[in-house]
Amino acid sequence: MMIDTHCHLCKEDYENVELIIKNMENNKMIAAGVNDATNQEVLELVKKYPTVYGAIGIHPTEVGMSDDASLERIENHLKDNKIVAIGEIGLDYHYGKKEKEKQIEFFKKQLDLARKYQKPVVIHSRDSIEDTYDIMKEYKDLKMILHCYSGSVEMAKRFLELDVYFGIGGVLTFKNSRVLKDVVYFLPLDHILLETDSPYLAPEPYRGSKNEPKNVLLVANMLAELKGISVEEVINITTKNAFSRFDLNKSL
């Protein structure tokens, strides 16, 4: 069984979300929200589909449209059985640092919630790796996942010291992903999780088209090639990693 540990299954992106979920057959996926509306969608999806787990959170680029009530709504569902993490949360300076203070405030408040409810956190970091690291090191008691890791090998070493797990997705299959391939070559397999970040970042040969969770197999294939092991082994180990990092046994 494979687990896509990070995807977005929004109505806005898929005409037929049910079909996308069925394409995963008995494999599992963790659908992540990014704001009030998509968090609500995640809550509905996990109720309806046995193979879908959820993460809810306010994404750094969504903090402008969010407030304390958004965080309260998240808190109200952290004891739900199939809500397995807070995410995706983090820092994103790609579009500038205008909202930097509010991003940091929301990031920390959600990390505090994770600590209070003993929930794993799924972290997004874009053009902000140093600030992200500085905050994460204050929360190293938490179970943290860096999703779609795009940093250097050097940074990966520092995150590993915090016992962070790394979500690896379709970028690994891109021809120009030399740095990420080096990172994956370096990372111990027991700290790697498979993900797609659907509908974004479709792996080769579908680069540029709409991604979906079933493509997680293409990421597994590339990982197997880089690590010189079989794809079955990659799937076994990463699924085990996902179960332990997200405490999935508690949510079955």
Smaller CB distance to Ni ion: residue 197 or 212?
A: 197
CB 6 to Ni ion: min, Å: 6
Cβ closest to Ni ion, residue 150 vs residue 225: 150
Q: How far is the CB of 201 from Ni ion (least distance, A)?
A: 9
Query: Residue 92, interface with Ni ion (CB under 5 A)?
Result: no
Nearer to Ni ion, 99 or 197 (CB): 197
Scan for tokens 């968090």, then name that residue.
39
**Least Å distance between CB 197 and Ni ion?**
5
Name the residue with the smallest CB distance to Ni ion: 197
Tell me the closest approach of the beta carbon of residue 92 to Ni ion, in angstroms: 11
Name the minimum Å distance from CB 230 to Ni ion.
Answer: 28
Residue 41 touching Ni ion (CB under 5 A): no
**Nearest residue (CB) to Ni ion, 17 versus 224:** 17
The window from 9-17, 160-168, 190-198, 228-236 that contacts Ni ion (CB under 5 A) reads 190-198
Residues linked to residue 56 through DSSP beta bridges, in sequence order: 86
Subset of residues 191 to 210 that bind Ni ion, contact rule: CB under 5 A: 197
Query: Is residue 212 involved in binding Ni ion (CB under 5 A)?
Result: no
Judged by CB, which is closer to Ni ion: 167, or 248? 167
| Contacting positions for Ni ion (CB under 5 A) | 197
